[in-house]
Amino acid sequence: MEGVVDAPMREMLTRIGGIDQCVTEFVRVSERVLPAKVFRKTCPELFNDSNTSSGTPVILQLLGSDPRIVAGNARKAVSIGARGIDLNFGCPAKTVNKSRGGAVLLQEPELVHKIVWWTRQAVPDHIPVTAKMRLGYSDKSLALENAAAIADAGASGLTVHARTKEEGYRPPAHWEWIARIREHVSISVTANGEVWNWQDYQRCREVSGCDDVMIGRGLVAAPDLGLRIKALQRGDDPEHLSWPEMLILLQQFLEMVEQQLAPKYVHGRIKQWLKMMSREYPQATAMLQEMRLLKQVPEVRQFLHQYSL
Ligand SMILES: Cc1cc2nc3c(=O)[nH]c(=O)nc-3n(C[C@H](O)[C@H](O)[C@H](O)COP(=O)(O)O)c2cc1C
């Protein structure tokens, strides 16, 4: 998730556990093959065999509309260690869609096919090429056609965020459409959208018929969600990360973000995570309120430290 699940967040979440695989934020490609440093910035896990330090595989996501350029960038990313390429056909951002990237491409299934096909041809057979799509741009009329275009072009997997671009992030996610797509293509389909807890996870799997579920915001809000899901699947009674434990994670996150970002952005990331976790931890709302004027890294660090005493 761009601007949210970057390398430090992937590191935090995969340390906690319960996650089988991550996908990077998208790398936007438009006119040329990007230098290696761009891929390494978005995906520093490339230095670690495309794994987070706890060993969770990370797939690199590309977003672009020129099949040859996307393919060239995929080849480059693989040459420096990417273990898989995911193609973004879901981003709803105006700036991205205006330059013919993300969900807007779902209006052109033939182009979607070409992008996937060129990318598949550009990288070795053992490297998975997958795609992520929404159900459409303004309506769902091309959902099956787009999914078939992706599958026919040689993708080995497809993640479906069960909403159109127009539907943005408004609940509900239409998991029943994922079932229709799954029946329409023979590649593996992963369900995505609006999974915030164990009950959502179960219902999403039931309705979509998918074994695999991708969780975005729900996992940032409740970082132990993956662990809890796995425990419940085994029939165990899962433990919940307590608020004091979350405070320790926040301090660790600060240290990681500080290494990655310019100081002026650090407080924003801490506040962003607090805001997202307030859905699960009501204490985060009060904390956020108290720290709203803090901007300097040392004062944020001091505040987090005091708070956890
Ligand atoms: C801030 C934000 C950034 C996102 N960035 C990406 C991205 O870079 N690539 C992508 O495939 N999806 C991206 N998404 C979409 C999510 O991966 C996911 O499909 C969507 O949030 C629905 O799933 P959820 O309800 O589990 O969050 C983003 C979503 C949000 C809210």
User: What is the distance between the alpha carbons of residues 121 and 166, in angstroms, rounded to a whole number?
Assistant: 32
User: What is the distance between the alpha carbons of residues 68 and 224, in angstroms, rounded to a whole number?
Assistant: 40
Instruction: Give residue 150's pLDDT.
Output: 98
91 has catalytic annotation: yes
Amino acid at 21: Q
The reply to whether CATH 3.20.20.70 applies to domain 7-234 is yes
Instruction: Give residue 198's pLDDT.
Output: 97
Q: For the chain, what are the domain ranges? A: 7-234, 243-307
Rounded to the nearest whole angstrom, what is the distance from the C-alpha of residue 82 to the centroid of ligand 1?
21
Q: Which atom of ligand 1 is nearest to the CA of 25?
A: 8
Pick from 159, 215, 167: nearest CA to 190:
159
Q: Which atom of ligand 1 is nearest to the CA of 218?
A: 26
The response to whether 32 counts as a known ligand-binding position is no
Instruction: Give residue 309's pLDDT.
Output: 85
Instruction: Please choose from 161, 205, 210 the residue to mutate so as to test ligand 1's pocket, defined by most ligand atoms within 8 A of CB.
Output: 161
Instruction: Give residue 99's pLDDT.
Output: 86
Question: Please, which contacts does 1-5 make with residues 24 or more away whose CB atoms are closer than 8 Å?
Answer: 1/25, 1/216, 1/217, 1/220, 2/26, 2/91, 3/272, 4/217, 4/220, 4/272, 4/276, 5/216, 5/220
Q: Does 216 contact ligand 1 (Cβ within 6 A)? A: yes
What is the mean pLDDT, run by run of 10 residues, along the chain of 309 residues? 97 97 97 97 98 98 98 98 98 91 97 98 98 98 98 98 98 98 98 98 98 98 98 94 96 95 96 97 96 96 93
Q: What CA–CA distances, in Å, run from 14 to 11, 172, 196, 216? A: 5, 27, 17, 13
User: What is the distance between the alpha carbons of residues 115 and 122, in angstroms, rounded to a whole number?
Assistant: 11
Instruction: Give residue 308's pLDDT.
Output: 86
User: What is the distance between the alpha carbons of residues 216 and 79, in angstroms, rounded to a whole number?
Assistant: 28
User: What is the distance between the alpha carbons of residues 255 and 244, in angstroms, rounded to a whole number?
Assistant: 17
Q: Does 161 contact ligand 1 (Cβ within 6 A)? A: yes
Domain spanning 243-307, CATH class: mainly alpha
Q: Quick check: bond before 172 cis, omega within 30?
A: yes
DSSP class of residue 113?
H
Out of 22, 91, 204, 210, pick the active-site residue.
91
